[in-house]
Amino acid sequence: MDTAVNASGATPSAGTRKTVLVIGTFDTKKEELSFMCDVMEAGGGAVLTMDVSVLGDTDFPVSFSKHDVAAAAGVTIADVIAAGDESHAMALMSKGAQALALRLLAKNRFDAMISLGGTMGTDLALDVALALPLGVPKYIVSTVAFSALVPPDRLAPDVQMILWAGGLYGLNAICRSALSQAAGAVLGAARAACGVLDGPPLVGISSLGNASLKYMRHLKPALARRGYEAAFFHAQGMGGRAMESLAEQGTLSAVFDLCLQEFNNGIHGSIVNSGPERLSRAGAAGVPQIVAPGTADLVDLPTWQPLPPRFEGRPCHVHNKLISSVTLTEAERRHTAREIAARLNSARGPVHVILPLRGIQEWDREGEIGHDPQALAGFFEELGASLATSVPVTAIDAHINDPAFADAVIAVFDRWTADGTVAPAAREAARAFALPTA
């Protein structure tokens, strides 16, 4: 190939031929995988193929054999077969596929990846997608795409999944339709992707829409004036997961975790959550965090399911046909406060908590469904008592949607840039893919 997404994140020229890494079990799915390769090559793309089979052999001329994949994991195929069961065997092949893909990316050998499979192939593909950095297009064609079998913590922030309709065994008209679209999509993404470019340093901010939280309108221009770019993450499950993944990768200079509803959802049993590590990963990575408990008094539930018995009869805001929010009792809010504090107390990086004493979301104002001053005061009391003395807290006599709240956030951020906790934008090193040296 001529050029690939490179370590500096520079945009390849529009005219260069793009190469897609195609991953799959070429012993059992040669027909389907080769069909996708043909579609991409007919569209002007190039392919590298990686066979992650274990027991079978293929006569398809792959770029990297199952022996190459096993070697990248530090074992042989004989070792993989001797692992004892298919789960352990595929875990070894996954390790090798990740290592080999990263090595190839570091050498600019491909611009995007696509994988195809059932549960076994999907499991491996999810690992490879997580290993690749943000900005490298990642497509997984799977018989279990969009299934509850795939938890949020297995998804890379920019992965795309496509349902492999009609694809259980061999090609057919339905299967060819799905695979041709997937092949065209990944090749198009490889051509259009700009990667993570040099530019203003990024600040990740959790939020909901303007109907509930309005600080975005103030923080975005305030950060822009200081030379930073705001990236807002929708805190309804996948958003916070993506934000903290990017913080771990070093993509974000700081995190403003101002909306904790998806965290709150998780500890109160809602499926609309970001996994058990939410509110821990950015802190574990040492990324500076300004935290506020936006919407930590509500739990999101699917509108299309009956309310769990414990939430029946409570005030409920029906947002749309997908999602509704119910209020929490004071005891439940105190539990939330203790759980928030436990995560923040263990952070390895700087943390500053801001408490807007007049309210934490638009629907807790007087006359709205979430208005409960006593429960709100109990939440703040519990949070203040549970946070370690090493975690500074700023309490302001304002609502989270008042300009004064955004001003308080920016005041802390300005102190951090002044004292070097966050590098000033003018001296921030150019952001780029953090490619391993493997």
Same domain, yes or no: 74 and 216: no
- Provide CB contacts within 8 A for 421, sequence distance 6+: 288, 350, 415
Same domain, yes or no: 271 and 417: yes
The three-class DSSP label of residue 197 is: coil
- Domain termination residue (choose one: 192, 212, 237): 192
Angle between helices 30-42 and 173-192 (to 10 degrees): 50
Same domain, yes or no: 336 and 216: yes
H or E element, residue 254: strand 252-259
Same domain, yes or no: 383 and 401: yes
Which segments within 153-207 are labelled E, that is strand? 159-163, 202-207
Residue 278: both structure tokens together: 């939410």
Q: Which pLDDT score, from 0 to 100, does residue 196 have? A: 64
CATH code, domain with 266: 3.40.50.12030
57 is in which domain, residue-wise? 19-192
CATH code, domain with 62: 3.40.50.12020
Same domain, yes or no: 254 and 179: no
Question: Is 338 a domain residue?
Answer: yes
- Domain termination residue (choose one: 160, 192, 224): 192
Same domain, yes or no: 240 and 182: no
Question: Is 379 a domain residue?
Answer: yes
Number of domains in the chain: 2
Same domain, yes or no: 87 and 211: no
Q: Measured between alpha carbons, how far is residue 406 from residues 64, 387, 394, 396, 420 in Å?
A: 52, 22, 12, 11, 21
Same domain, yes or no: 212 and 187: no
Question: Is 9 a domain residue?
Answer: no
Question: Is 5 a domain residue?
Answer: no
For residue 366, how many other CB atoms are within 10 A of its CB?
7
Question: Is 7 a domain residue?
Answer: no
The 10s digit of each residue's pLDDT in 44-66 is 999 999 999 999 999 999 999 99
Same domain, yes or no: 238 and 306: yes
Question: Is 118 a domain residue?
Answer: yes
| Interatomic CA distance for residues 11 and 70, integer angstroms | 33
Question: Is 6 a domain residue?
Answer: no
Q: Which pLDDT score, from 0 to 100, does residue 370 have? A: 87
> Which residues does the chain have with pLDDT short of 70?
1-15, 195-198, 426-438
Instruction: State phi, psi for 159 to the nearest 5 degrees.
Output: -75, 150
Q: Which pLDDT score, from 0 to 100, does residue 435 have? A: 43
Question: Is 404 a domain residue?
Answer: yes
Same domain, yes or no: 218 and 178: no
| Interatomic CA distance for residues 412 and 352, integer angstroms | 8
- Domain termination residue (choose one: 153, 171, 192): 192
CB-CB contact of 141 with 179 (8 Å): yes
Same domain, yes or no: 315 and 346: yes
Same domain, yes or no: 34 and 144: yes
Q: Which pLDDT score, from 0 to 100, does residue 228 have? A: 96
Residue 311: both structure tokens together: 């939430």
